[in-house]
Structure 1
């Protein structure tokens, strides 16, 4: 079933962490590989911060392998476009990561990429990778076992766990991303919920082209192919597989199963 392989959903030519998908027969198989991949590939860079499990008492900047508590000016700009400007010792750069006062890092097993911004009230648990020029907004909760690509948005009060967001994926407001894969430039409208656990707590099965496939996963949210879009306050049921370019109308409860690329799904 080539149409369920990772390459059918994602263009990973420029995705730094594409190797996590190596050997996956079905696209969702990668969910069981995230932990092992992070264990061997994460390069934590926050150990010198010294403030864990409590809000940062002051804004800090990460630049050239150092964590700076002063000597900088935050000018600002568009984070995901790589245009968030910081002046350090008179030198202006878009490659400095900013951890705002009031943000929380839970432990040391975290990598924050160049130009990323973590806003006040956001909480990040390891092991997690936050990619370059990614914005983790106020109140966001990254619960661990997460790989977030370049130029992504983990939005206001958005929660994610055991998930991958490819480059440019955005979940700007009030979303839940549980045990899910969000493709390149895919967008989750405000209030989107990628539900990951069946009410009867069963192994999740996927219906694709008339064949029911056992995933061997108790928790499995959704797969959103590249450029998929979900309207506000929509919910995908556990085991929803959206091909590239699919569109989901607002307020829709999406039945589990496989949807061909460019499908339009209405409530």
Structure 2
């Protein structure tokens, strides 16, 4: 197999996106679209990947980091001009160069591999990835001769009425013999409606020299779409989401309603887990086996163990153990850690708190900046009062403690092992182990008071 190189075109600003964010950085299922392109190249074992950057160069380099080399296209004068920017890195090398756009996030490794294979099998100097669509407006048309050989590619704006009827389109992805590519690029001119240097012009220039030009037609048109505006962005998101969900279902995950389930590309889910409608899984989320998530549940950068249930709740940047029950309407955030066999019930918020095995907060509580031991019961309406207006302070509740309803634990404070805090207490001092702590005003009954008020 010959040496393989990839040139990723990512210099355009993307004015049709009407966004402060550069086009190739717009996310598709949680990843910038240019990252999906690089992901598709990784299994091919490219000798070099070079990304041509322009607008937003620093941001693109930050996203891709060491996964690519970079060259700068200071002026955007067309795709041929963009490829010429890598001349110093690639000219003179033998092998095959793939040119691919950074705004084609749906192209798969399988299709790119087949394009390489077609190119190498035919001995072509150039092989074009084409696709067929009944709505080719805006795409360059692939013009074939009587022998069905690709003769040239005509941009939509430069095409005749007859040429615009052609439904085979240029996807903007090519394989080139590397030496032939750079030899041909020097002959590309900008005599067209856009006054740009078009990479597709290399095709008819190679044909004119009698070099073989081949084509590989993608099986699915949607895989080849370029994302140029928000409409295409939404269409690509839908295709990618379907692809991701089908992958998880084939791996043993039950997704009850795929049309209303949203899973980003970086999520991992164990087999026999069930996702109910309205579930959104984002970021570096990992879910174990035999879980039930949803309905209407949002997890982001969350880790969930085996056999847990999370319903109608939000979990961000937190960890949930095995056989835990969360929800409905719970909120875990900011490094919450929920141990095995715990219960976090309705309208409970947990922030930056460790919750020991078997402990529970069944409803209507806020637990922030706390370390809670094993088998602790936190009663309804209990709050760790962690903020004094200047700094956050920590609450410690040791194993087996019982916190009565409507309790305020004013941090920094500690409740000892198997201590009991009476309902309605405001605790400002440490509670010893095995103690009963009552911190509330003594009840006073004024008999006949309401009758007296009636007479006034």
- Work out which of the residue numbers 355, 365, 382 in structure 2 matches 1:165: 355
- Aligned residue-pair number: 165
Structure 2 CA distance for partners of 1:67 and 1:111, relative to 1, 3 Å: farther
Q: TM-score, normalised by structure 1?
A: 0.57
2:327 counterpart of 1:115:
no
- Structure with the bigger percentage of helix: 2
1:155 aligns with 2:345: yes
Query: Do residues 255 (structure 1) and 445 (structure 2) align?
Result: no
User: Which of 1 and 2 has higher RCO (CA within 8 Å, sep 6+)?
Assistant: 1
Q: Do structure 1's residue 140 and structure 2's residue 326 form an aligned pair? A: no
- Point out the structure with max Rg over C-alpha: 2
Structure 1 residues 87, 140: CA separation in 2 closer, same or farther (over 3 Å shift)?
Answer: closer
Asked if the contact 2:373/2:399 (under 8 Å) is kept, the reply is: yes
SS in 1 for 2:354: strand
Contact persistence 1:124–1:144 (CA under 8 A): no
Aligned to 1:69: 255
Q: What's the offset of the Cα at 1:243?
A: 1.1
CA, structure 1 residues 87+113, in 2 after alignment: closer, same or farther (shift >3 Å)?
closer
**TM-superposition CA deviations, 1:177-210 (whole Å, max 9, x none):** 10001110001000000110114x2xxxxxxxxx
Structure 2 partner of 1:75: none
* 8 Å contact kept, 1:150–1:166: yes
More strand by share: 1
1:231 is aligned, of 404, 413, 429, to 404
Give the distance between the partners of 2:435 and 2:422, measured in 1 at CA.
11
Hey, what's the Cα distance between the residues in 2 that align with 1:242 and 1:194? 12
List gaps (5 residues or longer) in structure 2: 1-236, 238-247, 258-271, 275-288, 440-456
Tell me the CA shift for residue 87 of structure 1: 9.9
- Flag structure 1 segments of 5+ consecutive residues without an equivalent: 1-50, 52-61, 72-85, 89-94, 202-217
1:100-143 deviation line (CA, Å, top 9, x unaligned): 221111x2x211111100012x11101x1111011111110101
Shift of 1:248: 0.3
Match of residue 96 from structure 1? 290
Q: Is the 8 A contact 2:273 2:292 kept in 1?
A: no
TM-score, normalization: structure 2? Answer: 0.34
- The answer on whether the counterparts of 1:221 and 1:237 sit within 8 Å (CA) in structure 2 is no
Cα deviations by residue, 1:157-195 (Å, 9 ceiling, x for unpaired): 100111100100101110111000111000100000011
State the shift of 1:262 in Å: 0.7
Structure 1 residue runs of 4 or more that deviate by more than 3 Å after TM superposition? none
